[in-house]
């Protein structure tokens, strides 16, 4: 059935959405860790050279110290820059390009430079920290990003396929249940049609005026029950087959069709002492008669079902539409958007499957018909059906 | 008037301290053959920063201890009789005269 397939797809997409979202978070964290690892690796690869550089600077400042700064020329190298700081982080001398130094890290990268901090064994010239600065060509960054993108895409694709397979696996029991239910409904529906039609045909052939009033009343009840089953049968048949049913478009006199359907529901309405008033204006529609019958039947059926005993139903046609108004329980504003969803029932006490207004919605969609609801709880519900001329 | 008095007092104290360092510390160290510059670089070698060097010098000068001596030559240790404030000023001059910051090329 289309609903089960839609529901299955929705569940599948929801699961896949969540799964991909979580996978992306994992991928992001993994990428971040990989990036940091690559950075550490790059820094470690520079460490031996940086230690040698620091040794050279320390050796030189030791000479300067031992000369009591008579020799005061600070060493300069083309491959790196250096600086010396005292124990209170005061700069003694610096050739660094970057100004701020992070004394909490021994080896780190800031901006486009790598920094290494070495503490001499003694404070030559008061130096507690020798800072070495070398430029970083950042080639490792582009390699890392390329790797992240490449392996990340492969991982994402793999996880997507795995997720799809898992989702299918998890949804199989649900799909089986839907199939079972659909098959059951199909079989039941098929088996219902013949006996219900037989009951209704036979009831219609009986001349009720010749019957005892008590028997006629009982027969009326049988007729109501049979018509209710017939309506349910037609709704289920529509739901099962509406995608396969071809529409025969014809010009429908809506007054004539509505009158016919009101007549059909008359017995049911009488059982609740509901009075149906019908105001006619010329009203025509190009649509499929069988489908419009289903639409009207469901609206009338609901108007009777949710009406109070002794209530009224007003059916009014106008040039490009009609409305059916009952004096029933009404529909709260917050629920008005939901009532067209399948299996949505506002009052479980009234029975039914919650498929009637969904059928109305599906038919309206097919013929470009607009549905408007106006309702006040415990006062009235008016469902207006209009179409473009 | 108050400001002039304050400036005069500051100049007097500074000159007095400089006078004190050049007239009291330098000749005495020269006489004993213990140069002030090597001592300064020894303090730098063990204490690094200005704050730490001055603190260590002051501590030694006020409470001389042969075990903590950083004098280049081992010998008799003389007790200095400066009051702490005068000593602070003398040490400031000592630091400014031999500090390495600004002298490296």
A68 closest CB neighbour out of B41, B48, B49? B41
DSSP for B8-75, please give it: HHHHHHHHHHHHHIIIIIHHHHHHHT--HHHHHHHHHHHH-SHHHHHHHHHHHHHS--GGG---SS--
* A258 or B2: which leads in pLDDT: A258
Residue B92 lies in a domain: yes
In the predicted structure, residue B6 carries a pLDDT above the cut 70: no
Q: Which of residues 27-66 of A touch B (CB under 8 A)?
A: 64-65
Q: Which CATH number fits domain A249-387: 3.30.565.10, 2.60.40.1930, 3.50.50.60, 3.40.309.10?
A: 3.30.565.10
A128 closest CB neighbour out of B41, B48, B50? B48
The total number of structural domains in chain B stands at: 1
For residue A276, the cross-strand partners are A313
Tokens 């330098």 found at: B26
Contacts of A72 in chain B (CB under 8 A): 103-105
Q: How many CB pairs under 8 A join A and B?
A: 60
How many residues are there in chain A? Answer: 389
pLDDT of residue A321: 94
A123 closest CB neighbour out of B37, B48, B103? B48
Contacts of A88 in chain B (CB under 8 A): 48-52
In the predicted structure, residue B9 carries a pLDDT above the cut 50: no
Pairing of strands A275-279, A312-318: parallel
DSSP for A213-224, please give it: HHHHHHHHHHHH
Distance of residue A90 Cα from the nearest chain B Cα, in angstroms: 8
- What ipTM did this prediction achieve? 0.82
Angle between helices A289-305 and A356-367 (to 10 degrees): 140
User: Cα–Cα distance between B74 and B67 in angstroms, integer?
Assistant: 10
Contacts of A130 in chain B (CB under 8 A): none
Q: What are phi and psi of A134, to 5 degrees?
A: -125, 145
A72 closest CB neighbour out of B44, B49, B103? B103
Contacts of B104 in chain A (CB under 8 A): 64, 69, 72-74, 92-93, 125
pLDDT of residue A350: 56
Kindly give, in sequence order, each residue whose CB lies less than 8 Å from that of residue A309, ignoring residues fewer than 6 positions away: A272, A273, A274
Residue B78 lies in a domain: yes
B52 closest CB neighbour out of A73, A87, A127? A87
Pairing of strands A369-376, A81-85: unpaired
pLDDT of residue A1: 44
**SS3 for A139?**
helix
DSSP for A319-357, please give it: TTEEEEEE-BS---GGGTTTTTSTT--S-GGG-S-S-HH
User: Cα–Cα distance between A53 and A294 in angstroms, integer?
Assistant: 90
Question: Per-domain residue ranges for chain A?
Answer: 2-141, 249-387
Of A65, A126, A130, which to mutate for an interface test with B (greatest number of B Cβ within 10 Å)? A126
Give the angle subtended at the CA of A337 by the CAs of A252 and A13, to the nearest 5°: 105
Residue B105 lies in a domain: no
pLDDT of residue A223: 84
Tokens 């991982």 found at: A155
User: Cα–Cα distance between A280 and A278 in angstroms, integer?
Assistant: 6
CA atoms within 13 A on the CB side of A270: 11
Instruction: Kindly state the average pLDDT of the residues B63-89.
Output: 78
Of B46, B53, B97, B100, which to mutate for an interface test with A (greatest number of A Cβ within 10 Å)? B100
Token output for B82: 């400066």
**DSSP class of A231:** H
CA–CA distances in Å: residue A5 to residues A12, A18, A178, A282, B9: 10, 20, 9, 41, 97
Distance of CA B48 to the CA centre of its chain: 15
Distance of residue A113 Cα from the nearest chain B Cα, in angstroms: 24
User: Are the C-beta atoms of residues A108 and A47 closer than 8 Å to each other?
Assistant: no
Number of Cβ within 10 Å of residue A249's Cβ equals 12
Residue B103 lies in a domain: no
Kindly give, in sequence order, each residue whose CB lies less than 8 Å from that of residue A268, ignoring residues fewer than 6 positions away: A224, A227, A228, A301, A304
Residues of B with CB under 8 A from a CB of A: 37-38, 41, 44-53, 100-101, 103-105
Distance of residue A87 Cα from the nearest chain B Cα, in angstroms: 5
Of B35, B38, B39, B44, which to mutate for an interface test with A (greatest number of A Cβ within 10 Å)? B44
A88 closest CB neighbour out of B46, B49, B103? B49
Domain residue limits at B45: 2-98
Give the angle subtended at the CA of A72 by the CAs of A69 and A78, to the nearest 5°: 145
Task: Please report the sign of the dihedral spanned by the C-alpha atoms of residue B55, residue B58, residue B62, residue B64.
Answer: positive
Number of Cβ within 10 Å of residue B33's Cβ equals 9
Q: Searching chain A, which residue's CA lies closest to the CA of residue B51?
A: A88
Q: What is the mean pLDDT of each run of 10 residues along chain A (389 residues)?
A: 59 80 92 95 95 97 95 94 95 90 94 95 96 93 94 89 84 80 75 83 84 85 83 79 76 94 89 92 92 91 90 94 92 79 61 75 90 90 91
Contacts of B46 in chain A (CB under 8 A): 122-123
Tokens 């997720």 found at: A163
User: Cα–Cα distance between B44 and B33 in angstroms, integer?
Assistant: 20
Model pLDDT for residues B22-74, shown as the tens digit of each residue: 887 888 888 888 889 999 999 999 999 999 999 999 988 888 877 777 777 66
Which parts of chain A are beta strand (E)? 81-85, 91-94, 107-110, 113-118, 129-135, 249-253, 275-279, 284-288, 312-318, 321-326, 369-376, 380-387
């Amino acid at each position: 059935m289309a609903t089960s397939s839609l529901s299955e797809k929705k569940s599948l997409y929801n699961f896949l959405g969540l799964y991909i979202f979580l996978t992306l978070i994992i991928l992001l964290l993994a990428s971040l860790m990989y990036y940091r690892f690559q950075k550490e690796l790059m820094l470690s690869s520079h460490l031996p050279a940086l230690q040698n550089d620091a040794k050279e600077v320390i050796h030189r400042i030791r000479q300067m110290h031992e000369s009591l700064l008579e020799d005061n020329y600070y060493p300069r190298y083309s491959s790196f820059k250096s600086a010396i700081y005292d124990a209170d982080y005061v700069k003694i001398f610096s050739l660094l390009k970057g100004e701020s130094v992070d004394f909490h890290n021994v080896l780190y990268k800031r901006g486009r430079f790598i920094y290494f901090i070495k503490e001499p064994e003694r404070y030559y010239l008061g130096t507690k920290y020798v800072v070495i600065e070398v430029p970083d060509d950042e080639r490792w960054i582009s390699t890392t990003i390329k790797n992240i993108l490449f392996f990340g895409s492969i991982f994402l694709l793999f996880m997507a396929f795995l997720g799809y397979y898992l989702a299918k696996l998890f949804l199989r029991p649900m799909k089986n249940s839907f199939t079972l239910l659909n098959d059951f409904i199909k079989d039941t529906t098929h088996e219902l049609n013949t006996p219900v039609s037989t009951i209704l045909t036979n009831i219609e052939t009986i001349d009720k005026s010749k019957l005892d009033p008590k028997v006629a009343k009982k027969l009326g009840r049988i007729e109501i029950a049979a018509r209710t089953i017939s309506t349910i049968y037609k709704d289920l048949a529509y739901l099962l087959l509406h995608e396969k049913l071809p529409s025969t478009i014809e010009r429908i006199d809506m007054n004539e069709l509505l009158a016919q359907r009101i007549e059909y529901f008359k017995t049911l309405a009488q059982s609740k002492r509901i009075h149906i008033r019908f105001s006619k204006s010329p009203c025509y529609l190009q649509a499929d008669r069988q489908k419009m019958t289903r639409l009207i039947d469901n609206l009338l059926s609901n108007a009777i079902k949710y009406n109070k005993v002794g209530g009224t139903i007003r059916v009014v046609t106008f040039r490009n539409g009609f409305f059916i108004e009952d004096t029933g329980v009404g529909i709260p504003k917050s629920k008005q958007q939901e009532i067209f969803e399948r299996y949505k029932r506002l009052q479980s006490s009234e029975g039914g499957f919650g498929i009637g207004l969904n059928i109305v919605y599906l038919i309206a969609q097919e013929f470009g018909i607009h549905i408007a609801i106006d309702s006040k709880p415990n006062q009235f519900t008016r469902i207006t059906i209009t179409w473009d001329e | 008037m108050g400001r002039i008095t304050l400036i005069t007092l500051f100049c007097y104290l500074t000159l007095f301290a400089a006078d004190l360092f050049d007239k009291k510390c330098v000749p005495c160290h020269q006489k004993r053959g213990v140069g002030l510059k090597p001592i300064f670089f020894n303090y730098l070698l063990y204490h690094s920063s200005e704050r730490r060097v001055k603190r260590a010098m002051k501590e030694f000068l006020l409470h001389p201890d042969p075990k903590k001596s950083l004098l280049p030559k081992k010998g008799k240790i003389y007790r200095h009789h400066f009051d702490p404030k005068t000593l602070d000023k003398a040490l400031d001059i000592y630091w400014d005269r031999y500090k390495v910051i600004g002298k490296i090329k």
